[in-house]
Amino acid sequence: MPNVYVTDYTYTHLDYERAILEPLGCTVIGRQCRTAADVIAQCGDAVALLNQYAPITREVFAALPNLKMVVRYGVGYDSVDVAAATEHGVMVVNVPDYGVQEVADHTLALLLAMVRKIPAIVNDVTAGRWNDNTFHPIMGLAGKTVGLLGFGNIAKEVAKRAQAFNMQVQAYDPYVAAEVFAAHQVAGVSAETVFATSDIICVHLPLNDQTRHFVGATTLAQMKKTAYLINTARGGVVHSADLAAALQAGQIAGAALDVLDVEPMPADHPLRNAPNCLLTCHIAWYSEASLVRLQQFAALEIARMLQGESPRSVVNRPRK
């Protein structure tokens, strides 16, 4: 009977995974691993791993001889050493489509809250102050330009929402064909153009060696002083210290982030007390419905593998 281990999880239960995999003869075992050593010690006979945050390193692949697949709960898979998985013949799979609408909604919510200065206004009114002059200027959205870094499924949904507010949309993504941009009425432009000409920049890039700290001192310096930055993708795409310095200097108008380079946020994180910075706790993906989809879609990928079918979203090409 093959064992499928959930390396770690913050979900209330694993009933959805068990309902899908146990009829196939699997045993689903929940763990709460924090380190690669934990995974090796607690998941040694795994045929497949369902992974939330625990690091799945080269050492893990070397120590788990029966492992065939790692499924990452979510879109990003930077917790998994994909190169090592490929060398050891292990498929790495993500779940890219469980929360597209939710993340796009949260991106627009952050955009509106930041540009309309909603948190600051609410705090003032709650404190008994009633003076709209305090919050001038507020930028109108119609006719302004949203720049998207990355143009995958979530960015496409953000573009639709921004266009509904009569905003112009441009995007940088070197892997997207011109006809795809045209089909969504989005201008495909260079990264330099996004940074220099956008009124609001939304980050929708995966985290890898090419995108780590893609938004940093150099690119922040290219932005308009009146521009805003929003990140609902991966925290490591933005250099936190550089962003904090830009906000402290008034180099950009503000930032709103749902993801950070270190989570949970430490007390000494440079963005904790940065001015004009709105932070949420990596919750953009969540709704009651998306949580169910995430657990089910992840388990279904293992079910497909066990039944000899091709998974829907393999991110590597194993060597054996």
Q: SS in 3 state form for 29-61?
A: EECCCCCHHHHHHHCCCEEEEEECCCCECHHHH
69, 90 in Cβ contact below 8 A? yes
Q: Is 157 an annotated catalytic residue?
A: no
Sign of the dihedral defined by the CA atoms of residues 226, 192, 110, 216, in that order: negative
Q: Is 106 an annotated catalytic residue?
A: no
Rounded Cα–Cα distance for residues 83 and 24 (Å): 29
Active-site option among 161, 234, 239, 269: 234
Rounded Cα–Cα distance for residues 50 and 94 (Å): 10
Strand partners, 92: 70
Active-site option among 116, 213, 272, 282: 282
DSSP string, 239-270: -HHHHHHHHHTTSSSEEEES--SSSSPPTT-T
57, 84 in Cβ contact below 8 A? yes
Rounded Cα–Cα distance for residues 129 and 264 (Å): 33
Q: Is 13 an annotated catalytic residue?
A: no
Rounded Cα–Cα distance for residues 97 and 283 (Å): 16
Active-site option among 22, 192, 263, 309: 263
Interaxial angle between packed helices 100-115 and 153-164, expressed in degrees from 0 to 180 and rounded to the nearest 10: 40
213, 236 in Cβ contact below 8 A? yes
Residue 95 belongs to what H/E stretch? none
**For residue 116, what are the contacts with CB-CB under 8 A and spacing of at least 6?**
138
The CA-based diameter of the chain, rounded to the nearest angstrom, is 68
Residues designated catalytic: 234, 263, 282
